[in-house]
Structure 1
């Protein structure tokens, strides 16, 4: 199974003020910087929401229990470390009662540690955000209160 085929799940984290948590990564192959919601691969035997909760905890230190059973399927087409990924991923919603909860990525893989530049609770999505239609994804996830 190529890396390309592994299913993944991501989490749109919203704080009390409606900011979106973005992780900041550096792709050493392309030289590009990427902002994207936390998330990652679904392990064998895991459901997408279980993966979303585990990845959120690993990448941010935030409680996986904040991830709600509410998602939007998002078509992805991106390159990372020289590999092109074309797939659909569920983006789950997580809400936090505080403004800008502290993020502590305690359990990054070695590859992630090399690429990690930090994070931001973004009031406005920066250029270069992945996926490019993230604003629409956030609107869809938050449409019903």
Structure 2
């Protein structure tokens, strides 16, 4: 049986309209993949508080995540090998520009997510490795502010 996993995920978008993704290299035989910042909520923590904490821990950015922009239910195998059923709440954070500060990464994160980069939207579709969520560009477009 899958474990429930409430989680907060962040679409971190810079002024050049690029999105930050981390490359995960699982310790098992799974292929590397790219994913947005975010992670499981701690007991008693709200989704917004988890989004803010995860953003700070994974990027060094301390910012209000704003309003929730999407909710998704997905089943997957975590990097630690646990089968989970995730209730993901998504937030979008816009920044001018930012260098990732990995000082807040956990020991596991230091082992499995050693690479990150800002992706232009047109790079996402043709990228040779899996990117999660698979419909990332659609999510970005849906979260764009009216111009």
Q: What TM-score range do you get, normalising by the shorter chain?
A: 0.7 to 0.9
**TM-score, structure 1 as length reference:** 0.86
**TM-score, structure 2 as length reference:** 0.85
Deviation digits for residues 89-145 of structure 1 (CA, Å, limit 9, x no counterpart):
0110000123xx100111112211111221110012234001212222212222545
Match of 1:9 in 2: 8
Q: Is the 8 A contact 1:24 1:35 kept in 2?
A: yes
Q: Is the 8 A contact 2:7 2:86 kept in 1?
A: no
Match of 2:70 in 1: 72
Q: Which moved more, 1:48-57 or 1:4-13?
A: 4-13
- Give me the CA root mean square deviation: 2.0
User: What are the within-5 Å matches in structure 2 for residues 80-95 of structure 1?
Assistant: 80=78, 81-95=80-94
Counterpart pick for 1:141 among 136, 140, 143? 143
Q: Is the 8 A contact 1:79 1:85 kept in 2?
A: yes
- Deviating 4+ runs (over 2 angstroms): 74-88
Q: 1:137 to 1:144 in 2, by over 3 A?
A: same
The aligned length equals: 141
The separation in 2 between residues aligned to 1:6 and 1:13, in whole angstroms, is 21
2:49 is the counterpart of 1:50: yes
Structure 2: state its 5+ residue gaps: none
Match of 1:129 in 2: 131
Match of 2:21 in 1: 22
